[in-house]
Amino acid sequence: MLAENGIFLLRISVSALMLSHGIPRVLEYEALVQSFPDPLNVGTETSAQLILMAEVGCSILLLLGLFGRFASAALFIAMMLAAFVHHFDAPWATRELPLLYAAVYACLTLTGPGSTSIDAWFNKTVFEKEDPASPTPRRADPGAPT
């Protein structure tokens, strides 16, 4: 139970913190596109859109616990790109925050979003069949020999 509460707290807090990075970028989208780097050579606007989809879209998914492993894996990749591609020549202190986020997202990718998530509810209601704890003996058909 404590581990599940820890996963829940980690998922909620890292999602809220990442949203605090992504939402201001969305609000200043036009200025962002003009100055955003293009580390993958897909164009500055496409690069900006990809990082915004990760920082905002995947953070919202992770906050809800919906497609949790996918969302945390996408955010892990985004943070690794930030640390090792975008900040390639930057000092180590500049890479610390993206690497800290990447470590959290790696943990959430491995553990999943936890039992207090939409994913867990969906798996429980759709995929798990309830097996009776003590099966009742089958009744004999009327008129059948016993």
Give the tens place of pLDDT for each residue, 77-130.
999 999 998 888 888 888 999 999 999 999 999 998 888 888 888 888 888 766
Is the pLDDT reported for residue 61 higher than 90? yes
The whole-angstrom separation of Cα 18 and Cα 33 is: 19
Q: For position 10, what pLDDT does the model report?
A: 93
- For helices 92-111 and 2-27, angle between their N-to-C axes, nearest 10 degrees: 130
Is the pLDDT reported for residue 18 higher than 90? yes
Domain-wise residue ranges, the chain: 2-118
Is the pLDDT reported for residue 134 higher than 60? no
Is the pLDDT reported for residue 140 higher than 70? no
Is the pLDDT reported for residue 133 higher than 80? no
Q: For position 139, what pLDDT does the model report?
A: 67
- Classify the C-alpha dihedral 80-81-85-90 as positive or negative: negative
DSSP 8-state code for residue 139:
P
Cα→Cα distances 42→48, 51, 73, 134, Å = 10, 12, 21, 59
Triad 75, 92, 100: Cα angle to 5°: 30
